[in-house]
């Protein structure tokens, strides 16, 4: 089965123009045209002219959403813009957009990105967690049994007496990755049992463990309860941590 990154790549290859929504300098939402996505070192970048309002907006507020109309489907990629002036990255991007003036260009990718594809009433969402621009994450079917099983796992975690704290911090990072995906699918999903049980001393430690777990998990598709039980078993999480 294709993961979120493969799907994003196929869509981006079909489109040389797209739109990006940001919070403007006046604090209101604005839409700007955007060119082709260029893949450099497994990361998707877009060029941005440093003389434009778009650059000014993203410099103040990183939040961005890229829109694409792909046939009958609507594609949204949401995340936080991170800029790069690396000469190799700029050069590779300019190959896709040779008409751009290289003197004023800067490139950006979307960190903590999430891909959502909507076809009619049906939406498929991919949690594209990124710590270094490489897209990884969880794809979860919007299924009541999966939701209830995940909630049960979080409740069991809250009641657990922890002996191996270092492993538990890594395991909790994996639970947080699944929890983020669940909140996107079900906004009312309750993360409090998990939140109350976390062992992290600081938010930075929490974010670091979550990023490590997201990288180790890679791209996972959960379509039935058994998938969830398998991927979140302590045995499998320990194997991921040791590798």
pLDDT in tens, 42-59: 789 999 999 999 999 999
Rounded distance, CA 127 to CA 121, Å?
20
DSSP 135: -
Range 18-37 average pLDDT: 93
* 70-95 tens-digit pLDDT: 888 899 998 889 898 888 889 999 99
The structure's pTM equals 0.55
**pLDDT interval class at 127 (50, 70, 90):** low
| 3-state SS, residue 100 | coil
Residues counted in the chain:
243
Residue entry with tokens 């994003």: 8
The confidence band for 131, taking pLDDT boundaries of 50, 70 and 90, is: very low
For the cut 90, the answer to whether the pLDDT of residue 68 exceeds it is: yes
For the chain, give every domain's residue range.
Answer: 4-135, 140-242
Q: Which helix (DSSP H) or strand (DSSP E) does residue 108 occupy?
A: strand 105-119
Quick one: DSSP state of residue 160?
P
161-214 pLDDT, tens digit each: 999 999 999 999 999 999 988 988 898 999 999 999 999 999 888 888 887 888
Mean pLDDT of the 227-236 span: 91
Q: Which DSSP state fits 136?
A: B
Confidence bin at 30 (pLDDT 50/70/90): very high
Given a cut of 50, whether residue 225 has pLDDT beyond it is yes
What dotted CATH number matches 4-135?
2.30.110.10
Q: Are 169 and 209 in contact (CB under 8 A)?
A: yes
Distance, CA of 53 to CA of 30 (rounded, Å): 10
Q: Give the CA count within 13 Å in the CB-facing half-sphere of 130.
A: 24
Distance CA 177, CA 110 (A): 17
Mean pLDDT of the chain: 87
């Amino acid at each position: 089965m294709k993961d979120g990154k493969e799907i994003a790549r196929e869509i981006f290859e079909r489109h040389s123009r797209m739109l990006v929504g940001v919070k403007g300098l006046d604090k209101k939402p604005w839409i700007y045209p955007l060119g082709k996505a260029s893949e450099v070192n497994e990361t998707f970048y877009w060029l941005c002219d440093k003389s434009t309002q778009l650059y000014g907006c993203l410099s103040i507020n990183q939040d961005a959403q890229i829109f694409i109309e792909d046939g009958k489907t609507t594609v949204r990629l949401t995340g936080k813009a991170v800029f790069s002036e690396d000469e190799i990255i700029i050069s590779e991007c300019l190959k896709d957009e040779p008409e751009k003036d290289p003197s004023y260009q800067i490139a950006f990718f979307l960190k903590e990105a999430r891909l959502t594809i909507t076809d009619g009433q049906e939406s498929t969402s991919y949690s594209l967690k990124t710590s270094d621009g490489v897209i990884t994450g969880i794809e979860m079917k919007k299924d009541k049994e999966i939701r209830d099983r995940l909630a049960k796992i979080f409740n069991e975690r809250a009641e657990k007496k922890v002996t191996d704290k270092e492993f538990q911090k890594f395991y909790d990072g994996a639970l947080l990755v699944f929890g983020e995906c669940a909140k996107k699918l079900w906004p009312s999903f309750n993360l409090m049992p998990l939140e109350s049980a976390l062992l992290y001393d600081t938010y930075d430690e929490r974010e670091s463990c979550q990023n490590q777990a997201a990288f180790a998990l890679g791209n996972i598709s959960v379509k039935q309860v058994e998938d969830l039980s398998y991927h979140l078993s302590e045995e499998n999480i320990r194997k991921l941590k040791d590798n």
